[in-house]
Structure formats: structure tokens, C-alpha cells
A and B are shown apart, each in its own frame.
Chain A
């Protein structure tokens, strides 16, 4: 560093412990000040350090609870050519370091400690561990350091044993940081190549186990559409446990660890003293383990949980275990880093999956739309003395409506309208099959009920296998006899408006018959009616009557039949009436989203 004395090029450390008593704070702060004076820190910085350290120690003492009050506060100071670092080890329950620290109102008599710490230091980080947390504070040296006279007083000098302990701790933490960083960088590079998020998570967390010297892990994720925690990856097959759901429990009974971590958004620790509930799947799969269940969060949203454990030391082994901590604060920090990294990767993978799904859905809809379009006759056959028009408008999510008009001879037409219950390609495919079967049975085309019976028998198995069904209506128009024979498979009634002596209300034809695909042996019936001059016959799908207006009110059959009756006033072609009905429907649904296909055939006598 320019301007600094070579005497400060080497890091120098001080480690002090103080009892959990506010009365001892100032003395400890004075010792640290003396040490830092020797390291060439100026008065302005020293004042800042005094205050920040005092605030940190006060908090460590004031918030200690239970056995934490019997344990000393440890202060470590590392000063080198570029900066000073303080580490204050506390035994409080810990707290979440706020992302943004705000000053309390001027009248408030407390709550300025963290503000002062954050304002006086360049860096403040709080690392929570089991039974011990570490507050790390750093401040850089000013660009031109004064040239002090190094002087070591025996009572302030660090003993070589203390130095070894600090250096050993630091080496351990640095090594953890290095390993976690290198693992993350390595996997960042590989992520695009592996393709499998599960495999990626398994390998990343396998590395984490090695860094933590832990034995097992379980990664659970919250599925998109379910309120549960499902195992996504685990270190061994025995940990591929059933999904967990939050449930009501007796107050004394502990929730499963992972549910507790998910609900509280806090790390949950477990060991022999605070074991999981007896019915916790982890208690059965990994008895005698100690570890932590960590919530994985992203942008305030719970992504899942990561649980890590190791077989708990017993007897003499336990005595030698480091201060009883399952994972140190530094290791806990590594877990948090891995969990945060994993959360980002999971969110990215899910986003990409969602994008792909949307593209596939759009592609499928396009295919379905093309199939549906190809099923409709390009030109409508006509029969003498009548005019015929048809209309089909697809909803955004293409349904399974289709119509057909099959010319049987110069005087006869078979009109078909059908609605496959379903959306997308499957519905379009069944519509295509139905159309082919209807056209492939010429011997039955003059008996609509017999034709439906045959088609139902042929399609029943395929439809019932996929829980789909089709409503359909057939109408044989005999132009010479001016007669119509209809049969229905659970379809909307055919509307017939007559004129002359038979004029009155519209008659709805809905002969008995269940939809195709419901029962294999459905019996269909024919109904016959005579067609007067200037009559109207309307075959339609329920997309017409169920068209909603802006307020959610359906168009309705009454309004449809009323329009049909009125349409008999005066002579008009089917094409004109088609346009009129489309205008009626458009006026009704205005700019409301079309929820279902709209399809109809209209015949004018």
C-alpha cells in the first residue's frame, strides 16, 4: 500500500475474551485501542473502532440468553497493511442482519447501535451458527497512513498459542470459502452442459457434504401447483422420502424439521438434545443424526428446504467435538451460499421449462387449429329449394367443434355438427376420426340414429380410455319430400322455425341419446319433421348459447330461438342469416374473451 510502513505489511492479530458483563466492555475496547495504536491507526479511525466495537459487545451481552450468559464474548482483531477486521463471537440466539438499516425516530431512546456500526465501518456481516454467531466488521486504512513506532507490550501481545488458534480458524474458513467458491464456479460452467437440474443439484450438494464433512443431504422443493415439500434430490436412495405437507399437530409435538424450516423461514437445528419428532421421516431414516434444515428462499419466496446431517459423535468422540457446534458459523455461511446459488439455478431452470411449455402449447394449438380447419368442407353442398350456410369460429384454446355437410344425392344432404369435449390436438384428432367414420358408412347415412349407433360402438373404447366424449347431431334433409330426420348424441337441440299455418315458436329437436363414448350400447332415436316454405333449421354448438357478455351473462337458447323465429319474416338466404347471427353474437360478447368455439349450420327452406 503506498505510504504504509513495511512494519504493517504482515497481519497482526489480537484475541481477547470478556465476560458476559457490560461493565467489562470499555476495558476490552481500551485494550483493542492500544493494540491498534501500535498498528498505526489514526485517532479518527480509533474513535470509530471504539464505538463500533463497544456497540457490538453491548449487543452480544444484552441479547445473550440461557447458557449464553455464562459464556465469554470473544473479540478477534486482525490488522494488516490494508485494513482491520474485527470478529465478535456472541452466544445469543442471533438475528437476521437487516438489508437496510434505518435510524429510529429522533425521540426513540434506543435502536441506534446497528446504525452506528454500519456507518462507522466499511463492511459489517453477521453469520449465524448454532450456539455461536460471528459479527465481522472491516475498515480499510486511509490512503496515507501515519508512520508509527511499532511497540509490543507484553500484556497486549498475542501469544503464539492464540495466534496459532486464530490462524488455524482462518485457514479453515478460507479453505471452506475457497472450496465453496470453486465448486460454484465449476458448476456454473457446467450447468448449461449437464441439462439435468437434478443431477446438477446432486453433484453440487455432494461437494457441500465434503466441505462440511457431513454425511447426508435431502433437497426438497415446493412444486409449482402443490402445497408440499417433495424430495428433489438426496444423497442416498433411502432418503428419497414421501412428500411432506403442513398439518395440524398437537402443540407439544414438533413438526417435521423441514416443514418447521419452511414455515418459520428459519434454519432449524437438530441433535440428540433437540431431536426431530418421532414420526419425522428423517428421524426414522437417519436416527442419531445432528444437523440443520435450511429454508431455500429467492426474492422472499420459499423454493424448498435443504437438510444436512452427520452422524452424531458419542462418548469420548463427543467430548473432543468442537465446542458442541454441529456446524460452525463459517460452515453455516457456506450452506447459505450454496442454498442461494441453488435457488437461482432452480428458478432459472423452472423459467426455461415454463417458456418451453408455453412454446409447445402454442405449437400444439397451431396444429389443432390447422386440423380443425382442414375438417371443415371448403364448399358447402346445396340441395334444391334450400340454401345452406355454416360458420365456425375457434376460441383461443381451440376446442373440438366441427360441422360437415355430406351430399347423398341431388335431393338429400346429411348435416353434421359435433363438439368433442376437450381441447387441443386430442380433441381435433377425435373430430377427424368422427368425420371419417360418418363419411365411411354410406349405407347408414339416411338413418341418422343407426349411423350414431355404429359410430358410438366404433369409437367407444378410444374415447373412454382417455375420458373424452363427443356430442353430435345429425340431420338428414330430404329436399324432395321437404322433410328432416334428426338424431342426437347428447347435443344441443336443433332449432326448427316453421312458417305458414305451422308458424309459432321455434321447436327444439333433441331426440333421446347419450353423447358418444359414454356407453357402448346407447340407443339413439330419430325424429322427423316436415319443412314448410321459408322455414329455418339451425344446428349449433353450445359455444353459441354460452357466449358471455362483459358481465358474464350468457347469450342463451331463448334469445337464439327468438332470433331464429324473427328471421322467418321475409325471404333471406342462409348466407345473409349467417351474417346476421354472427353480428348478434358479436354484439353480445363485445370484447369479452371467447371461451369456446362458436359453430352453427343454418338451412333456409
Chain B
């Protein structure tokens, strides 16, 4: 997983999987990378092959973090299978999803 700070935005990428096994560490690492200057979070899902309900929970948690900073969480380029899960759980109504 890579994290990069671009001004007021934290960009997370290269996430292979977002499931029960790594959801907690994903959330904690992201929060640790935030400085007071960032309000928005982008998660690039283009290389993400698997997201389960715990992974969704971690994304919702980061969404709340961004909202508390008057920012927003965006999900970038999810693969069709992951997009299907997001839509199935109505997450596309909560997050901004930038499709490929």
C-alpha cells in the first residue's frame, strides 16, 4: 500500500486487498499519515481485487474522518467486481466514485 500527500489530499494506492485480515491496519495507517493539513482522502482501487464487509467498514471509517475535517473520501477507478460490491451495498450513494 502506498500513501502520498498532495497538498490537502491524502492519496492511497496499490491496495491489493481490503478485507478482514488487513482492514484495521489499512485504517490505522491512513489515519497516521494524515497531518492537520489534509481534509480529503483518495483511495485508488484500480489494483484492488477484493473488498469484503470489513474493508467497506474501513472505508466508511475514513469517510467519517474526512467529513470531520470538512473534506470527503473518493474512491478511484474500482475494478468492475469491486464496483459491483460497492453498488450492491449502496456505498456508491455514500462515496464519490471516480470510474475509469
> B71 at interface (Cβ–Cβ under 8 A)?
no
Which of B5-13, B28-36, B37-45, B84-92 is the contact stretch?
Answer: B84-92
- State whether B53 touches A110 (Cβ < 8 A): yes
- State whether A116 touches B19 (Cβ < 8 A): no
Chain B residues whose CB sits within 8 angstroms of the CB of A120 once the complex forms: 88
Determine how close the nearest CB of chain A comes to the CB of B41; give it in whole angstroms: 15
> A103 at interface (Cβ–Cβ under 8 A)?
yes
- State whether A103 touches B20 (Cβ < 8 A): no
Q: Which of B64, B88, B93 has the most CB of A within 10 A?
A: B88
- State whether A55 touches B60 (Cβ < 8 A): no
- State whether A22 touches B50 (Cβ < 8 A): no
With contact pairs A112-B53, A113-B53, A116-B89 given, residues A26 and B17 touching in the complex (Cβ less than 8 Å): yes
* Contact residues, A368-385 vs B (CB, 8 A): none
- State whether A109 touches B57 (Cβ < 8 A): yes
> B94 at interface (Cβ–Cβ under 8 A)?
yes
> A51 at interface (Cβ–Cβ under 8 A)?
yes
Pick the contact of A103 from B60, B84, B85, B89 — CB < 8 Å? B89
- State whether A103 touches B90 (Cβ < 8 A): yes
> B54 at interface (Cβ–Cβ under 8 A)?
yes
Pick the contact of B89 from A25, A58, A109, A115 — CB < 8 Å? A115
With contact pairs A26-B19, A58-B20 given, residues A110 and B57 touching in the complex (Cβ less than 8 Å): yes
Chain B residues whose CB sits within 8 angstroms of the CB of A111 once the complex forms: 53
- State whether A55 touches B57 (Cβ < 8 A): no
Which B-chain residue is minimally distant from A58 (CB atoms)? B20
With contact pairs A26-B19, A26-B21, A106-B94 given, residues A119 and B53 touching in the complex (Cβ less than 8 Å): no
Per the bound structure, the CA–CA distance linking A109 and B60 in Å amounts to 6
Per the bound structure, the CA–CA distance linking A106 and B54 in Å amounts to 14
Q: Which of B17, B53, B58, B93 has the most CB of A within 10 A?
A: B53
> B61 at interface (Cβ–Cβ under 8 A)?
yes
Per the bound structure, the CA–CA distance linking A109 and B20 in Å amounts to 13
- State whether B88 touches A22 (Cβ < 8 A): no
- State whether A50 touches B50 (Cβ < 8 A): yes
Q: Which of B20, B56, B60, B81 has the most CB of A within 10 A?
A: B20
> Interface size on B (CB < 8 Å)?
23
> A193 at interface (Cβ–Cβ under 8 A)?
no
> A54 at interface (Cβ–Cβ under 8 A)?
yes
With contact pairs A47-B81, A50-B50, A116-B85 given, residues A107 and B64 touching in the complex (Cβ less than 8 Å): yes
* Contact residues, B68-100 vs A (CB, 8 A): 81, 84-85, 88-91, 93-94
Which B-chain residue is minimally distant from A119 (CB atoms)? B88
Per the bound structure, the CA–CA distance linking A120 and B53 in Å amounts to 13
Pick the contact of A116 from B21, B58, B88, B93 — CB < 8 Å? B88
Say what secondary structure dominates the interface of chain B.
helix
Per the bound structure, the CA–CA distance linking A58 and B58 in Å amounts to 16
Determine how close the nearest CB of chain B comes to the CB of A346; give it in whole angstroms: 41
> A23 at interface (Cβ–Cβ under 8 A)?
yes
> B52 at interface (Cβ–Cβ under 8 A)?
yes
Per the bound structure, the CA–CA distance linking A112 and B19 in Å amounts to 13
> A108 at interface (Cβ–Cβ under 8 A)?
yes
Chain A residues whose CB sits within 8 angstroms of the CB of B93 once the complex forms: 106
- State whether B91 touches A106 (Cβ < 8 A): yes
With contact pairs A103-B90, A106-B93, A106-B94 given, residues A25 and B60 touching in the complex (Cβ less than 8 Å): no
Chain B residues whose CB sits within 8 angstroms of the CB of A25 once the complex forms: 19-21
Q: Which of B19, B50, B91, B94 has the most CB of A within 10 A?
A: B19
- State whether B54 touches A58 (Cβ < 8 A): yes
Chain A 386-422, CB-CB to B under 8 Å as 1, else 0, gives 0000000000000000000000000000000000000
Per the bound structure, the CA–CA distance linking A116 and B54 in Å amounts to 12
Chain B residues whose CB sits within 8 angstroms of the CB of A55 once the complex forms: 52-53
- State whether B85 touches A51 (Cβ < 8 A): yes
Q: Which of A23, A106, A111, A113 has the most CB of B within 10 A?
A: A106
Chain B residues whose CB sits within 8 angstroms of the CB of A116 once the complex forms: 52-53, 85, 88-89
Determine how close the nearest CB of chain B comes to the CB of A18; give it in whole angstroms: 13
Which A-chain residue is minimally distant from B67 (CB atoms)? A107
Per the bound structure, the CA–CA distance linking A5 and B59 in Å amounts to 42
Chain B residues whose CB sits within 8 angstroms of the CB of A43 once the complex forms: 81
Chain A residues whose CB sits within 8 angstroms of the CB of B88 once the complex forms: 115-116, 119-120
Per the bound structure, the CA–CA distance linking A25 and B54 in Å amounts to 13
Chain A residues whose CB sits within 8 angstroms of the CB of B61 once the complex forms: 109
Determine how close the nearest CB of chain B comes to the CB of A88; give it in whole angstroms: 15
Per the bound structure, the CA–CA distance linking A538 and B93 in Å amounts to 83
Determine how close the nearest CB of chain B comes to the CB of A101; give it in whole angstroms: 12
Which B-chain residue is minimally distant from A117 (CB atoms)? B53
* Contact residues, A91-133 vs B (CB, 8 A): 103, 106-113, 115-116, 119-120
6 contacts between A and B (CB under 8 A): A103-B89, A107-B94, A109-B61, A112-B56, A112-B57, A115-B89
Further contacts, 5 of them, CB under 8 A, given A25-B19, A116-B52:
A43-B81, A51-B50, A58-B20, A103-B90, A115-B89
Q: Which residues of B does A touch, CB under 8 Å?
A: 17, 19-21, 50, 52-54, 56-58, 60-61, 64, 81, 84-85, 88-91, 93-94
| Nearest 4 CB-CB pairings of A with B | A109-B57, A112-B53, A47-B81, A113-B53
